[in-house]
């Protein structure tokens, strides 16, 4: 996949590195020659010095062949312009980093397919760490209607050394929740479990649930309360 990133700041460079690690071809645009040189020499990506809202620079960077564009420029106004130009040039996947919430609707009207608020992500992560310290990580989908949790299994856990089939039949298992991933050890690959998969203590699971069931999931992991 050919991905064009507007902005070689901290987020842009880290995003580029992740994409390169995944095997994608990455090009970056930034007005800072030092940032462009770093991207070329240290990361091995194509970097074009200039404005990411200049049609000449965008054409030079190959926007017409881009499979995806990520606009992570220094302010929302510039990002909005890049989104609109990317839409104009027929890019099907347009991602944008949003700083101010007022820009969400203009971004979508201009053609953004994904609008990511860095403030909302940071606040949500901190709230989750305070509210649910047992959860290693949490992601929200479909406007916070679905939660995906990464949970460790302790020796005292209700699901330790039990199969998924047994766990699913447990009356305390939160309704509407589903275990979708299993990692036996930190250095092993995540696998899709089946009913016969036995979840060992010290392993990690990925669970899908509704926001209203989060506390039930945590309680179930720590101990079953049949009266709940």
Our count of domains for the chain comes to: 2
Q: Is residue 228 part of a domain?
A: no
Q: What is the CATH number of the domain that holds 211?
A: 3.30.70.1450
For residue 227, is it within any domain?
no
Would you state the structure tokens that stand for residue 173, as one six-digit string?
Answer: 């298992």
Whether 113 maps to a domain, the answer reads yes
Tokens linked to 148: 């995906």
- For the question of whether the overall pTM of this predicted structure is more than 0.75, the answer is no
Cα→Cα distances 89→69, 86, 163, Å: 11, 5, 51
User: What pLDDT is stored for residue 138 in this prediction?
Assistant: 65
| Whether 96 and 140 share a structural domain | no
By residue range, what is the domain housing residue 133? 128-222
Q: CATH code at 115?
A: 3.40.50.720
Domain boundary (95, 119, 143) is at 119
Q: At what angle do helices 33-43 and 10-21 cross, to 10 degrees?
A: 20
Measured from the Cβ of residue 131, the count of other Cβ atoms closer than 10 Å reads 12
Same domain assignment for residues 111 and 47:
yes
**Residue 86 pLDDT class (50, 70, 90 cuts):** very high
* 16-38 tens-digit pLDDT: 999 999 999 999 999 999 999 99
Same domain, 155 and 109: no
Residues 6 or more apart whose Cβ sits within 8 Å of residue 189: 183
Q: Is the pLDDT of residue 137 over 80?
A: no
Do 21 and 92 share a domain, yes or no? yes
Do residues 106 and 76 both lie within one domain?
yes
């Amino acid at each position: 996949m050919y991905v064009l990133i507007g902005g070689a700041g901290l987020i842009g460079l880290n995003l580029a590195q992740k994409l390169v690690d995944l095997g994608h071809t990455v090009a970056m645009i930034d007005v800072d020659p030092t940032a462009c040189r770093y991207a070329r020499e240290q990361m091995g990506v194509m970097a074009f010095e200039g404005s990411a809202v200049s049609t000449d620079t965008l054409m030079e960077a190959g926007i017409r062949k881009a499979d995806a564009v990520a606009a992570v420029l220094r302010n929302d106004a510039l990002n909005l312009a890049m989104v609109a130009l990317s839409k104009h040039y027929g890019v099907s996947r347009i991602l944008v980093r949003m700083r101010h919430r007022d820009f969400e609707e203009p971004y979508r009207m201009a053609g953004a397919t994904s609008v990511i608020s860095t403030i909302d992500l940071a606040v949500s992560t901190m709230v989750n760490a305070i509210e649910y310290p047992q959860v290693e990580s949490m992601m929200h989908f479909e406007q916070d209607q679905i939660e995906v949790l990464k949970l460790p299994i302790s020796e005292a856990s209700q699901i330790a050394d039990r199969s998924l089939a047994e766990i699913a039949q447990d009356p305390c298992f939160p309704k509407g929740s589903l275990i979708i991933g299993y990692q036996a050890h930190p250095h092993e690959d995540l696998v899709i479990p089946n009913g016969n998969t036995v979840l060992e203590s010290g392993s990690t699971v990925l669970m899908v649930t509704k926001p209203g069931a989060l506390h039930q999931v945590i309680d179930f992991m720590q101990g079953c309360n049949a009266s709940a």
